[in-house]
Amino acid sequence: MVDHDLLDHRLADGGIQGIVRKWLCSFISGRGQRVALGREMSSHHPLVCGVPQGTILSPMLFNIFMHPLAHIIQSFGLGCHQYADDTQLYLLMDGHTDSIPDTLTRCLEAVAGWFRGSRLKLNPSKTEVLWLGRDGMGMRDQLPSLAGAQLVPLPSVKSLGVILDVSLSMEAQVTTAKSTFSHLRRIKQLVPYLSRPNLATAIHAMVTSRLDYCNSLYAGLPLKLSQKLQRVQNAAARLRTGSLPWQHIHPVLFQLHWLLVEYRVRFKVLVLTFKALHGLGPSYLRDCLSWYAPRRTLRSIFSNTLEVPGSKEVRLASTRARAFSALAPAWWNALSLETRVLRDLISFRRACKTELFCLAFGLESV
């Protein structure tokens, strides 16, 4: 659906000129398609829209085509995140839930108009609304419409494969991750036919990768939920090593050099913290962090620690226990000074994992 003429104009607006622009235009132009049915072949039909699937350039060109949409949304004071064809709008109500701001209605009208002007079809049936706050369902009749369809808040939505509910409990997402037991049963049937390296690859592809996907959102989960995830990892470790169900799991995980689930979550949060502090991560995470600055000149000023926000800054206890702005500084400050002062990402990942591995299994730090 990417119109070639419009894409050419947006390449120019983005500062792409000269030979590079001509090269990109020649990449998408001059293409056609035809339909084959048995031995019959339709006539050749030239394509004036669309980017070739399966090429490296196509996702980049599509992102360039969609980029102006973010500026339109932000011009109305709303936050916006974009990932390929997934666009998310964020509206902060500041505790005032009496009525929906008029800016949201005007923003949605502008979005629908931009889609029409870009020759794209907007599908409002795929638009989902999540209300994070009190009395969310009470706003059902006040939400505006999008392209003629009335928007209603839902009890849960899926964002890039992660299920989010109105309380952000992550319980539905944990249940989805727990369903990987079915994959383990299928892999177990293939054990007699797989070599050990192939078995490890299958377990990683079907099980551990699902446990690690967006696992930073599991930070601060209640014990009953984290234990569900740990049972999945335990089953994967037993299948990987062929250990028996009654054998203690810690030696098995130690043998595989696998971090426990709660420490894998901490590792992911610490890596995100490192990236945010060194300009390798998103700016909205960096804005949640600040270096510790004592009022008097103390030796701790050189400790490379972060400021942990107090109860006044993060008021809700449930939020404070899981918020990145509170949890990340606390976990960062718990690292050794030798790890905190590292500047290279690969070196930090290696040192951080070693430190967490020693902490998880009660070893002396190395």
pLDDT one-digit tens code per residue, 236-248: 999 999 888 888 9
Q: Residues 7-34: what's their mean pLDDT?
A: 88
If pLDDT is split at 50, 70 and 90, which confidence band does 317 have? low
Q: Does 200 have pLDDT greater than 60? A: yes
Instruction: Please choose, from the candidates 133, 220, 224, the residue with its C-alpha nearest in 3D space to the C-alpha of residue 175.
Output: 224
Quick one: pLDDT band at residue 333, thresholds 50, 70, 90? very high
The H-or-E segment that residue 162 falls in is strand 162-165
What angle is formed at CA 154 by the lines to CA 152 and CA 159, rounded to 5 degrees?
115
In the prediction, which pLDDT does 1 show?
A: 81
Mean pLDDT over 224-240 rounds to 90
Distance CA 195, CA 248 (A): 25
Per-residue pLDDT, 270:
95
Average pLDDT over residues 173-180: 81
pLDDT at 13: 87
The tens digit of pLDDT for each residue in 118-171 reads: 888 888 888 888 888 766 555 656 778 887 888 888 888 888 888 888 888 888
Share of the chain above pLDDT 90, in %: 27
pLDDT for 29 equals: 85
When the pLDDT of each residue in the chain is averaged and rounded to a whole number, the result is 85
pLDDT at residue 356 in the model: 94
Q: Which residue has the tokens 């590292």?
A: 342
| Global confidence as pTM | 0.81
**Model pLDDT, residue 136:** 54
Q: Is the pLDDT confidence value at 66 over 70? A: yes
Contact 61, 7 (CB under 8 A): yes
> Does 314 or 148 have the greater pLDDT score?
148
Mean per-residue pLDDT, 3-20: 88
Distance between start and end Cα atoms, the chain? 56
Q: What is the pLDDT of residue 348?
A: 95
Cα 261 to Cα 208: distance, rounded to the nearest angstrom: 10
Q: Tell whether the model's pLDDT for residue 109 goes beyond 60.
A: yes
Is 70 exceeded by the pLDDT of residue 279? yes
pLDDT mean over 335-349: 92
For 40, the token pair is 């019959």
Q: What is the dihedral sign for C-alpha 78, 171, 325, 351? A: negative
Confidence of residue 85 (pLDDT cuts 50, 70, 90): confident
Over range 161-185, report the average pLDDT.
85
